[in-house]
A and B are shown apart, each in its own frame.
Chain A
Amino acid sequence: MSAGESPTIVIPFVSPRAGDPVITSELVADHGLSDDEYERICRIMGRTPTFTELGVFSAMWSEHCGYKNSKRLLQLLPTQAPWVIQGPGENAGVIDVGDGYALAFKIESHNHPSAVEPYQGAATGVGGILRDIFTMGARPIAVLDSLRFGDLDSARVRYLFGGVVSGVGDYGNCVGIPNIGGEVAFDRGYEGNPIVNAMCLGLMKKEDLITASASGVGNTLMVVGARTGRDGIHGATFASEELSEESEEASRPRVQVGDPFTEKLLLEASLELISSGAITGIQDMGAAGITSSASEMAGRAGNGVQIDVARVPVREPDMTPYEILLSESQERMLVVATKGHEHEVHRILEKWELEAEEIGEVTADGRFRVLENDAVIADMPALPLTEGCPTYEREGIEAEEVRQLREMDLTEHLIPNGDLTKAFLLLLASPNVASKRWIYHQYDTTVRTSTAVRPGGASGVVRIRGTKRAIAATTDCNGRFVYLNPRRGAMIAVSEAARNLVCTGAVPTAITNNLNFGNPLKQHIYYQFREAVLGMADACKAFETPVTGGNVSFYNETDGRAIYPTPVIGMVGIIEDLSNITPQSFQSKGDDIVLLGENTAEMGGAEYLYVTAGLVAGEPPRVDLARERQLQRAVLTMIQNNELRSAHDCSEGGLACALAECALGDEEAPFGVKVELDDTLPPVATLFAESQGRIVVSCAPDRTENVIKLAMDHSVPARRIGKVGRRGEAFHVTAIAGQIKIDLVTLSRAYFGALPAIMNTPASSVE
């Protein structure tokens, strides 16, 4: 018997509430349900649902909550490893990080709200992910943000970008969680539909782990935190639709408003509640509000719940049960208090000047029952809400347009159009390559006094106080690669994330993913999704980094045009000894620069093509997972043996840009660079191709031999390519038949000045 088909023996009759609209096929369609799905609901109910019941089903069976079009493929991802304590299905994944500590971490999207109201959309995205972490019993220790926007020459895009950055910043800053990294990319492929993914890491003692289940029949359900208002009603369904030009005005009421101050109080109160032992479960009221939190908690425990909406503290009068059940007002929690310990919950919440109210209880009958005072408003089996959502596997076919772009001949672009140094400066000043300081200088990165590596490097690092250990985290995905070749692009995203962690000295350990795609009902989008999941599964297996949770965001389309498929990889790694933390920039003049891996002429999807020709085309660079793994093992060994002074991954902008970043560091004390590359490739490829599997390291000259030997031992190609110069010396990179030569002041201005110059242009016209 599948969960969706459970026979209902007694069919409780629920009379419609006065004022409820009549259920018509139009109303059903407005709720995002197909005719088949509606029939299925009637079968499950044994009768026609009431308006309120329809709303509940619609939210729970939305793409956002029900994973209709993704669930079957997601099952292909590896989720197990000895260090995984909690895999997918909870508020967040949890892994063992040693010394008695566990790490909870998760990434989540807030793309649609941010497209409509960038500041609040982004802020509430951060708020939601923090709650997912502290409801596991973990104290949030770091935030990362992964962002995508259209090109910054549009005033509208600058408005979205500026608003999102201050929304992410203000929320995290106020709650007091350091931002330790993330990424941002700008490409016309995201115009109109930005991507805002926020990731949070939380630390706890292993024994403090708590889950979100409604266990213990007779225990009391309590809503704690902010009051319930009319904001964000049907946000989950909204997140499961495409955007159109009308969306902005029409959808604004569906965007929630954040209050980070209340969040901070809720965080402290929740952690105190968990350690008090007065509660058995706790869950954030995220998408679909009380409905999803109550039914998911019931579902996990195999119990039922009964809620009286009249007891839910509301912000405004005359809210209907439908509204109360589906409101997505922020900073609220559903708590299951052990019977008889409700006063303890009240006491703790009062201390933090927050409200708590008993709204119902855990029942044994497996029903999701809603009362309004004495009247039953909804009565439905709980399990089908969370488990009975129909799932689909669709046909996927690659778009002809993409195939043509991928097969485009790029030979003509290998001939530089003018001076190489000029092209290089253009590339370095592209917002995709240039310093992101303008962003992270708006984020508190040092609060909680544990940030060992701040944003701006390959990955952020927070130490675990009282131990020698640290946690590294990164988010990565090059959407252009995924667009051109979804399977390979997803493999590259995982490989790059792992490479970034390794460069700071961390062992890649586990993944949370945020799969941002267009409308899965379209065959070419489903193709992208399927291929990306398959590529990701292969790469996760190769790196032994299981996926412990994440988020799927479909329908990222504006006026029918989808974003680049963007499966963002949030990866965490463990640094076993703080002394292994390795900087990405050069540290000492006279050091040798060694290139690990090989340069190739693979220009597909390179930033160089976008900057010089406005092109997103070609076959993305090959990725050999076994060799990539060997490269990473080699670098970790070098770091553990204390051979390296710095390590930097080669990604957007290629080897030349990686070298520039190594030279510039944090701007205060840049180093000169003298590098000679003897590859028999066109210089454009040697310098700017984004071939995979390359890391630039620097070491004291007496270590070079060891470094090269260790690389060889791992079958990794390695060669000394040059030297770190003095401060004030030039940045000089020669390839066969071409060179880049430039003074450090100009280099620094291009790299650090680009984003401020763009963003400080007054945003006079907010379109």
Chain B
Amino acid sequence: MRVGVVTFPGSNCDYDLYKAAQQVGADVEFIWHRQKNLDGYDVVMLPGGFSYGDYLRAGAIARISPVMEDIVGFAENGGPVLGICNGFQILCEAGLLPGALIRNVSLRFESRDVHMLVEQTETPFTSEYQKGQILRIPIAHGEGNYEADGQLLEQLEAEGRIVFRYVNRGGEMTEEANPNGSRNSIAGLTNESGNVLGMMPHPERAMEEVLGSVDGMGVFLSLAANLSTVVL
């Protein structure tokens, strides 16, 4: 699997993503935000951080970064794109994912472990998880409150595009378990064709026992399992 991790000015989880992909055996490269050619990558990852300082609005400036045009093309051709945290925000701003991420209801940055439920395993990002599995994974964001109108939410639910949902330890959706006020407790969702996933929690931070959890590995193992067989 050949992975490209995009670095925007202000990305700060690019190195973490790089190491996570490497851990599952991927061949990883950084993609500078001015790079124009994405040929040869099996998957493109947009890391967390504060691209362009998150000035104006999280992800709003990164969206018009030179590399984004090609990422849109890559996704439209069915290429898998994973956006984590700021990467998720950029994907929403770029229109690759519907809805928007607004300020957390607490109006504060929220950094801690959350539990999330795996609802969809028929995606290239989650096939190695069990449906209904509860993961413990860190979050760290100020704008992770997923906002969408009623019609869109209905559509997302009906099409089974909500991949991860915030729950408590017992797997119940509760207000306390929702760290940012997201609609329908949405922690991660895909586009219509299922090849673009955006999520606020950081699976790359839950890859080793010494860091407190290995529950994030499934995302990278799933990609490796689904993409290693691709013949270039």
Contacts and interface: CB of A to CB of B under 8 A. Distances in A.
B49 interface: yes
Contacts of B205: 446-447, 449
Contacts of B55: 261
Contact of A452 (B54, B112, B138, B211): B211
A175 B12 contact: yes
Contacts of A444: 109, 111, 140
A446 B12 contact: no
Interface stretch (B14-22, B152-160, B190-198): B14-22
B10 A169 contact: no
Interface in B127-180: 138, 140, 142, 169
B112 A447 contact: no
Contacts of B204: 449
B3 interface: no
Interface in B197-211: 202, 204-205, 207-208, 210-211
A493 to B, nearest CB: 28
A174 B15 CA distance: 15
A449 B20 contact: yes
Contacts of B111: 173, 440-446
B13 interface: yes
Interface in A657-674: 668
Interface in A317-334: none
Contacts of A170: 109
B9 interface: yes
A265 B16 contact: no
Interface in B36-53: 48-50, 52-53
B29 interface: no
Contacts of A264: 9-10, 12, 50
Contact of B50 (A174, A445, A578): A174
Nearest to B48: A447
A463 B207 CA distance: 14
A260 B53 contact: yes
B167 to A, nearest CB: 14
B9 A265 contact: yes
B49 A176 contact: yes
Given A174-B50, A260-B53, A449 B16 contact: yes
B53 A446 contact: no
Interface residues of A, number: 34
A720 B201 CA distance: 43
B160 to A, nearest CB: 30
A668 B169 contact: yes
Q: For chain B, what secondary structure do more than half of its interface residues adopt (helix, strand, loop), or is it mixed?
A: mixed
Contacts of A109: none
A226 B15 CA distance: 25
A451 interface: yes
B53 A174 contact: yes
Interface in A64-85: none
A170 B202 CA distance: 18
Nearest to A444: B140
Size category of the binding interface on chain B: 20 to 34
A259 B54 CA distance: 11
A686 interface: no
A463 B50 contact: no
A425 B66 CA distance: 58
Contacts of A343: none
Contacts of A176: 12-13, 49-50
A173 B15 CA distance: 15
B109 A166 contact: yes
A668 B16 CA distance: 27
A264 B86 CA distance: 15
A29 B102 CA distance: 52
Contacts of A446: 111, 138, 140, 202, 205, 211
A627 interface: no
B210 A447 contact: no
A668 B115 CA distance: 12
Given A259-B53, A260-B50, A261-B52, A449 B109 contact: no
Given A176-B12, A441-B111, A449 B211 contact: yes
Contacts of B208: 449
A409 interface: no
In this complex, the member of A176, A259, A441, A449 whose beta carbon has the largest number of chain B beta carbons within 10 angstroms is A449
A581 B209 CA distance: 12
Nearest to B137: A446
A261 B211 contact: no
In this complex, the member of A170, A260, A444 whose beta carbon has the largest number of chain B beta carbons within 10 angstroms is A444
A42 B196 CA distance: 70
A314 B12 CA distance: 29
B108 A447 contact: no
Contacts of B169: 668
A101 interface: no
A559 B20 CA distance: 54
A1 B113 CA distance: 61
Given A176-B13, A449-B19, A442 B211 contact: no
A159 interface: no
A166 B53 contact: no
Interface in B89-133: 108-112
Nearest to A165: B108
A262 B9 CA distance: 9
A261 B10 contact: yes
Contact of B140 (A265, A447, A465): A447
A448 B15 contact: yes
A270 B59 CA distance: 25
Interface string A253-291: 000000111101100000000000000000000000000
B102 to A, nearest CB: 17
Contact of A448 (B16, B52, B53): B16
A259 B9 CA distance: 13
A248 interface: no
B50 A447 contact: no
B5 to A, nearest CB: 13
A578 B208 CA distance: 12
A262 B55 CA distance: 12
Given A261-B55, A441-B112, A442-B111, A578 B12 contact: no
B57 to A, nearest CB: 14
A13 interface: no
Nearest to A353: B9
Given A261-B55, A452-B211, A441 B110 contact: yes
A447 B142 CA distance: 14
B58 to A, nearest CB: 11
Contacts of B108: 166, 441-442
B10 A174 contact: yes
A164 to B, nearest CB: 14
Nearest to A169: B109
A161 to B, nearest CB: 13
11 contacts: A173-B140, A174-B50, A174-B53, A174-B54, A260-B53, A442-B110, A447-B140, A448-B15, A449-B204, A452-B211, A668-B169
Going nearest first, the 8 A-B pairs with the smallest beta carbon separation are A176-B12, A261-B53, A444-B140, A174-B50, A449-B16, A446-B138, A446-B205, A442-B109
Interface of A: 166, 169-170, 173-176, 259-262, 264-265, 352-353, 440-452, 454, 463, 465, 578, 581, 668
Given A352-B9, A452-B211, 12 more contacts: A166-B108, A173-B111, A174-B50, A176-B13, A264-B9, A440-B111, A441-B108, A446-B211, A448-B16, A449-B204, A450-B211, A463-B210
